[in-house]
Structure 1
Amino acid sequence: MTALTSALEITKLAHEMHVDETELAFLATTSPDDLRDLRGIVSHAMFSRHESRVKGLAAVSKKLPAAVTAKITEIAMGPMLSARVAAVMDPADAAKLAGHLKPEFLSELSVHLDPSRVEGIIARLDEALVVDVGRRLLADGHLLTLARFTGVVGPDVSLQVMDGASGSEIIQVALFLDEPSVLDPMLAGLSDETLGEVVAAAGDHEEPFEALLATLEEDSRTRIASLT
């Protein structure tokens, strides 16, 4: 279990650093808690590296009409820099700007966001837009990103996003959750048919699935057992 959790944390760290996880293989024997702490340090360091420049861009964007800022954002700034700017913007201003950005650009931007820095923005977005962006992430295979946002958007919105996802995709999102407490409410919202697909896919993810079962409440485990 510890080895699996460490491997998942290495995958998350590689995503944070924008490197291939094979480059971090030397961390395989590091404890999950230490890897989690390291990921937090890396995230803070990468954000702080250009903090003054990013705050300057955020200040400029506040002086322009949202529609104009949106055009500049999509054409000149790109998803990664835009994600950095969003993290330091006033949540209300950022949410207004998001309404002028294309959903496909927002999905690309989301890959570079730290969900903990943008909770206030997401809370102000139209739910339909959040679901649309989430489904684009799902279609593009960004399961780790979806998992990280699940704790922010909550189980109800996550269930809408994952509607139509395969059993294998649901297992992988569950594995990468930063907030395990949302897993039981999510499973409770799945139909028996969908949960049956998750159980059927468990054969391809035997060790991870057993690890997930161990984290579930008794009601969830009982329901899964009835479908096995």
Structure 2
Amino acid sequence: MTALTSALEITKLAHEMHVDEAELAFLATTSPDDLRDLRGIVSHAMFSRHESRVKGLAAVSKKLPAAVTAKITEIAMGPMLSARVAAVMDPADAAKLAGHLKPEFLAELSVHLDPSRVEAIIARLDRGLVVDVGRRLLADGHLLTLARFTGVVGPETSLKVVDGASGAEILRLALFIDEPSVIDPLLAGLPDETVTEIAAAGPDHSDAFDALLLALSEDSRARIASLT
């Protein structure tokens, strides 16, 4: 199980660094806790690297109408830089700007966001927009990104996002969730058919399924057992 957890942390670290996982294969024997700490250090370093620049852009955006800023954001800045700027914007201003951005652009931007830095922004967004962006991430296979936001948007919104997702998709999504306490409420809200699908995916993803069971409460494990 430790090997699986380390592999998951390497996947998350590669995502943070925007590199291929193969480039980090030398870290395979590193403990999950050390890899998690390294990911936090890398995230902070990458954000701090251009902090003065993005704060300047955020200040400029505050002086322009939201519709104009949105157009500049989509055409000139792109999703990665926009994610950095969003993290230092006033939450109310950022939420207002998000309402003028295309959902497909917000989905691309989300891949580069650190959810912990934008929680106050997400709390101000229309839930319909959050669900729309989440479903686009799911459709594009960005399960890691989706998992990082699951704890921020809450189980009710998360359940709307994954409505219609396959059991195998939800199993992989659960693997990437950093906070295990988020998984139980998510599973509790899933219909029996989906939970049965998750269990059916177990034999083909045995390590992932075992990791999921370890993260669940006794009641959730009992529910899975009763359905299989």
User: What TM-score, normalized to structure 1?
Assistant: 0.99
- Which residue number in structure 1 is paired with residue 75 of structure 2? 75
| 1:15 maps onto 2:15 in alignment | yes
Instruction: Give me the identity figure in percent.
Output: 86
SS at match of 2:82: helix
Partner of 1:123: 123
2:211, 2:145 → 1: CA distance?
21
Separation (CA, whole Å) in 1 of partners of 2:88 and 2:207: 40
- SS of equivalent to 1:74: helix
Count of residue pairs the alignment pairs up = 228
Equivalent-residue separation in structure 1 for 2:208 and 2:156 (angstroms) = 24
SS in 1 for 2:64: coil
Q: Give the equivalent residue in structure 1 for 2:219.
A: 219
Per the TM alignment, residue 92 of structure 1 is displaced from its structure 2 partner at its CA by 0.3
Which residue of the partner structure matches residue 151 of structure 1? 151
Residue matched to 2:39: 39
* One-letter amino acid matched to 1:49: R
Q: Which runs of 5+ in 1 are unaligned?
A: none
1:73-100: CA deviation from partner (whole Å, max 9, x where unpaired): 0000000000000000000000000000
CA distance in 1 between partners of 2:133 and 2:214 (Å): 31
Q: Give the CA deviation at 1:227.
A: 1.2
CA distance in 2, matches of 1:186, 1:12: 21
Equivalent residues in 2 for 1:79-94, closer than 5 Å: 79-94=79-94
Match of 2:55 in 1: 55
Unaligned runs of 5+ in 2: none
**In structure 2, how many angstroms separate the alpha carbons of the residues matched to 1:80 and 1:146?**
17
| Matches of 1:76 and 1:63, distance apart in 2 | 17
Deviation, 1:207, is 1.2
Superposed CA deviations along residues 167-218 of structure 1, whole A, max 9, x for unmatched, are 1110011000011101001000000011111111112111110121012101
Shift of 1:225: 0.4
